[in-house]
Structure 1
Amino acid sequence: MAVPVWSVDPRTGKQRGQAAVEAGTAEVDAAVRAAAGALPALADRGSRARLLRESARLLEEHADEVVAAADAETALGSPRLTGELARTAFQLRTFADEVEDGGFLDVVIDHADPAATPIPRPDLRRYKVPLGVVAVYAASNFPLAFSVPGGDTASALAAGCPVVVKAHPDHPATSELCAGLLRRAAETAGLPAGTVGLVHGFDAGLDLVRHPLVAAAGFTGSVRGGRALYDAAAARPHPIPFHGELGSVNPVVVTAAAAAERAEQIGTGLAGSFTLGTGQFCTKPGLVLVPAGPDGDRLVAAVTGAAGQAPAGVLLDTRMRDAFLKGAAERSALPGVDTPLAPDAGDGLTVRPGYVTASAAELAAPGALDPLLEECFGPLTVIVRYDGAAELAAVLDRVPGSLTATAHLGEREAAAPGGSAAGLLARLAGLAGRVLVNGWPTGVAVTGAQHHGGPYPATTSTSTSVGATAVERWLRPVAYQDTPPALLPAELRDDNPLGLPRRVDGVRG
């Protein structure tokens, strides 16, 4: 019997209408096999680039409809979602540029050298090839940029991999709409509609990661859900790469010099960052280390004033609201924890932001305060007061792997080569994939130098999910040795018929 998938309005908790039905094992199998059938057609880089550009164009052409659907299902608001759609279209075009450039194929040719030492060298030529069908697990908090038309889909298609997306239950109608646009784009580019598949349902997600034709997976979501899928991917008879973004506290360190110079500015900025989007960003600053003393007190007072004026907001669904309120209450009840601004329920289905405080001396050792080192999804942050470098270092030793780590430095600290500030940044680089100075981590630029990842539990791999190098997730290298020229792939021929950037005998060109 078909199980309906309902679109729900998070502002009221009421069903809007049926968006789809949950996929059974047979439906998942059909979607994966259709995607696998599209793999040969995706070998043409020109078709892939056209698919990505046409996807961006169709999203923009239907922007009003897409934004309205996403807002109705997520309550994220039209301004935020309009910006997210623009970002999504931009990253689709960015990957089209990468496809056309071809540098991601990483072509290396080393001609045979009988005189090479210590032994003669054979003719070796290497490039990267697509893994195969990619399973993409959509995120709750980004119905566009990290969902059906999002970064994992765009980077996989750029690599030459068809995708099957497991829709997030918080925005099924938006997912259906976007999948339809991407299928239209595929057909316009001369590719099979099965290049982009879509399935719904919890069991479908498990069937997808276990399917023998799925070659890799990308996930953005909770530690619990991501770890279950990661374990399933590893337990297969043939394990597959699982690129999961799971959870992050994104530590922030405010030095004594920074607090002395601009306590109020930092406190106001912190409040704006952890309440942005009702705290529903994976890069939300969730653990903030502030020096003890009057300057730190001024900073904390500024947080109270700014966060106290932030409006109540709606979370993505009632389950997340319940989890947030439970998590906030549990943290507030921990021994030695104070709650100067209590995060709690607002009117209707809204929540109000807040924060808790604790001492570094108590958090430095394993014990009752351990929950403060875990992500709480929603508008809550933890402020930890430290007294001196030793207490700061002791807490940082306990901070789990994160997507970001931030240092707020004094003017002289930031200008001095070496010294304590350089040591702090080096320490933070060991905790996170992106280190910020005198800024806030919410917001992730789509650019070639970006890295959106980090040590576990932030992610399960070393790759990025944002930026041009995300394409590397879905590729593997293959080397050809002493292969007759007539049998070489076009990418590896000496005459370079595809005009690819490459390195030949150690020389880039």
Structure 2
Amino acid sequence: MMTTSFSPRDGRVLGEVGDTSADQLASIVAAATTAAPAAADVAPAVRRRWLDAIADAIDQHAGELIKLADSETALGVPRLTGEVNRVAEQLRFYGRVAADGAYLGVVVDDSTPIAPRLVRINRPLGPVAVFGASNFPFAFGVVGNDTASALAAGCPVVAKAHPAHVLTSVRLAEIATAALTAAGAPAGLFDLVSGLQVGVDLVRTPEIKAVGFTGSQGGGLALWKIANEREIVIPVYAEMGTVNPVVVTPAGAADLAEIAKGFVGSFTLGSGQFCSKPGLLFAPKGSDAGRVVADVLTDVSPTPYMLTSAIAANVTVGVHNLVEAGASVVTRLAGPGTGWSAESAVLTAPISALVPGSKLLEEVFGPVAVVVEYSDAQELHEALGVLQGSLAGSVFGGGDNDPDLAATVSALAGQVGRVTVGDWPTGVAWSWAQQHGGPWPSTSNPATTSVGAAALDRFVRPIAYQSVPDGALPAGTREAVDPANPWHIPRRINGKLELA
């Protein structure tokens, strides 16, 4: 079996990659399993050097990678230039998080009268399977956030090449593997597999201890089901996305023309293929927001190419489903007409049509948005309450003293993982405070994030060591061994925080 790469601009074949065989998969997973103890026991600062090495190698091959990714995704050189720079900086960031050591959560209790000496530390889970995103070949690809945070946490990674950019996936893996080898990382720390069935088999493999996934609800839920049907169930950290709501308050409606420009720019960015794309806008009744947004879309006249032929076809199906659910088309613009092109559209819907199970509450992955008007705060908050859990929600108000701002932020906070005020949700910074996750079904685990420093927490589990002598403890927890605190990480000793 082969995975074929296509050009979204004209549909021509760019190349093929052979699917990973069962024997090859077994060998790759065995190597990852062998590498796991070395990856777990090495100082976090060493893992930082490994991640820095991958980042440096990506920088060196940036031009080649951008050209290859653009041929497979049609996302454009400017967008991909920024993204390849981003993935290098993400890798370096997760290396810094690892070296900081706070994620290890080291706690030592040796002076309590109610228990013997206890030492607690977060330890890596072991080999992790990563399924990257179609829409971000670099930032969420085979060496993106999931891989970088898993490696930083001390877990070997077996990544699956995405069929939407399989050639880019293979080249990235080659660059990363060579960089890790040159940096002295253990063999098997990172590898790549390709093929639909091998992805299923990878999740079923007993040695795999967790799954990181970025993609559709259908794909994420399928992997989640497979993982939960295993004899030994493993966690699936799936970032699946849904409709991300935007609320314009009555005071904010005074700036509706500018808000509409931002909204159109955000929901058409990357041809609407962002998991954080705002897809549903709430505006005050009588604002004619649907027409205002539609006029902006007409002026912009995007020419979207989708990542795959299936995604392009699903845009048309999605618009049809919205109409069937009670929406009305305000503007519908044809795509370029070649390759995997798609239309863009703005629709309106009565707020009464937002009911559980309605297609109006489901994401259309593409440059399509729905506008709904509300009569008062109660009607708005009731409608927000029936939405599916989302990654992000946005509020555009009349300033800090807007009387509706606080209540709207509070209502959205119950539905999403990130609330923005005056900012569009597209674009997720890799930082210490970031939360890129949300209530089910936007993610499979609302307590975790796929971006930011806390992303490492997904790939470790706490272990307590009771009455264990120093020499038998993980290096980061030792007290008496010279030098003390050899990993130079923050630790809480008998309730007192000690910094490195």
Question: TM-score, normalised to structure 2's length?
Answer: 0.95
Deviations 1:441-467 (A, max 9, x none): 000011110000000110001211111
Residue 451 of structure 1 contacts residue 465 of structure 1 at CA under 8 Å; is this kept in 2?
A: yes
Equivalent of residue 280 in structure 1, options 259, 269, 273: 273
The equivalent residue for 2:261 is: 268
The equivalent residue for 2:317 is: 326
Is 145-154 or 105-114 further displaced after alignment? 105-114
Equivalent of residue 228 in structure 1, options 222, 229, 232: 222
The equivalent residue for 1:426 is: 410
SS of 1:170 mapped into structure 2 = helix
- What's the CA shift for 1:4? 1.9
Equivalent of residue 493 in structure 2, options 494, 498, 504: 504
Matches within 5 A, 1:446-485: 446-461=430-445, 462-485=447-470
- What's the CA shift for 1:48? 1.5
Deviations 1:365-419 (A, max 9, x none): 447xx101000000001111111122212211210000001111112xx236xx6
The equivalent residue for 1:317 is: 308
Q: Does 1:301 align with 2:288?
A: no
In structure 2, C-alpha distance between the alignment counterparts of 1:75 and 1:58, rounded to whole Å = 24
In structure 2, C-alpha distance between the alignment counterparts of 1:222 and 1:328, rounded to whole Å = 17
In structure 2, C-alpha distance between the alignment counterparts of 1:83 and 1:73, rounded to whole Å = 17
Change (3 A) 1:121 1:334: closer
Residue 257 of structure 1 contacts residue 409 of structure 1 at CA under 8 Å; is this kept in 2?
A: yes
In structure 2, C-alpha distance between the alignment counterparts of 1:488 and 1:174, rounded to whole Å = 42
Equivalent of residue 254 in structure 1, options 239, 248, 252: 248
- 5+ residue gaps, structure 2, are none
Matches within 5 A, 1:10-159: 10-18=8-16, 20-42=17-39, 43-45=41-43, 46-114=45-113, 120-159=114-153
Equivalent of residue 359 in structure 1, options 347, 350, 353: 350
- What's the CA shift for 1:80? 0.4
Amino acid at match of 2:100: D
Equivalent of residue 184 in structure 1, options 170, 178, 190: 178
Deviations 1:306-332 (A, max 9, x none): 211232111001111011111112323
Deviations 1:131-172 (A, max 9, x none): 000000011000111111100000000011010011110111
In structure 1, C-alpha distance between the alignment counterparts of 2:325 and 2:474, rounded to whole Å = 62
The equivalent residue for 2:158 is: 164
Residue 130 of structure 2 contacts residue 158 of structure 2 at CA under 8 Å; is this kept in 1?
A: yes
Amino acid at match of 2:415: L
- What's the CA shift for 1:344? 4.1
Question: Structure 1 vs Structure 2: percent identity of aligned residues?
Answer: 44
Amino acid at match of 2:251: A
Deviations 1:195-230 (A, max 9, x none): 111111111111000000000000011111110110
Residue 6 of structure 2 contacts residue 14 of structure 2 at CA under 8 Å; is this kept in 1?
A: yes
Change (3 A) 1:5 1:356: same
Amino acid at match of 2:459: W
In structure 1, C-alpha distance between the alignment counterparts of 2:464 and 2:380, rounded to whole Å = 48
In structure 2, C-alpha distance between the alignment counterparts of 1:57 and 1:340, rounded to whole Å = 48
In structure 2, C-alpha distance between the alignment counterparts of 1:252 and 1:6, rounded to whole Å = 38
* Equivalent residue pairs, number: 489
The equivalent residue for 1:117 is: none
Equivalent of residue 173 in structure 1, options 164, 167, 175: 167
SS of 1:219 mapped into structure 2 = strand
- What's the CA shift for 1:110? 1.2
- What's the CA shift for 1:345? 4.0
In structure 1, C-alpha distance between the alignment counterparts of 2:240 and 2:179, rounded to whole Å = 31
Equivalent of residue 493 in structure 1, options 467, 478, 489: 478
- What's the CA shift for 1:93? 0.3
Amino acid at match of 2:296: A
In structure 1, C-alpha distance between the alignment counterparts of 2:414 and 2:123, rounded to whole Å = 31
Deviations 1:81-123 (A, max 9, x none): 1100111000100011122221211111111333xxxxx2321
In structure 1, C-alpha distance between the alignment counterparts of 2:88 and 2:271, rounded to whole Å = 24
The equivalent residue for 2:371 is: 383
- What's the CA shift for 1:424? 1.7
- 5+ residue gaps, structure 1, are 115-119
The equivalent residue for 2:282 is: 289
SS of 2:438 mapped into structure 1 = coil
Residue 251 of structure 1 contacts residue 406 of structure 1 at CA under 8 Å; is this kept in 2?
A: yes
- What's the CA shift for 1:343? 4.7
Deviations 1:277-325 (A, max 9, x none): 11010000011111111xx22x433312221123211100111101111
RMSD, aligned CA: 1.5
In structure 2, C-alpha distance between the alignment counterparts of 1:243 and 1:88, rounded to whole Å = 20
Deviations 1:19-46 (A, max 9, x none): x211232222221111111113313134
SS of 2:209 mapped into structure 1 = strand
Deviations 1:332-386 (A, max 9, x none): 3444x221111544422322321110111332x447xx10100000000111111
Residue 278 of structure 1 contacts residue 314 of structure 1 at CA under 8 Å; is this kept in 2?
A: yes
In structure 2, C-alpha distance between the alignment counterparts of 1:145 and 1:357, rounded to whole Å = 33
The equivalent residue for 2:233 is: 239
Q: Does 1:442 align with 2:436?
A: no
Residue 55 of structure 2 contacts residue 87 of structure 2 at CA under 8 Å; is this kept in 1?
A: yes
Residue 150 of structure 2 contacts residue 459 of structure 2 at CA under 8 Å; is this kept in 1?
A: yes
Residue 301 of structure 2 contacts residue 333 of structure 2 at CA under 8 Å; is this kept in 1?
A: no
In structure 2, C-alpha distance between the alignment counterparts of 1:451 and 1:278, rounded to whole Å = 24
Question: TM-score, normalised to structure 1's length?
Answer: 0.93
In structure 2, C-alpha distance between the alignment counterparts of 1:284 and 1:315, rounded to whole Å = 15
Residue 352 of structure 1 contacts residue 379 of structure 1 at CA under 8 Å; is this kept in 2?
A: yes
Deviations 1:248-287 (A, max 9, x none): 101111111100x211111111111101111010000011
In structure 1, C-alpha distance between the alignment counterparts of 2:431 and 2:375, rounded to whole Å = 38
Q: Does 1:339 align with 2:323?
A: no
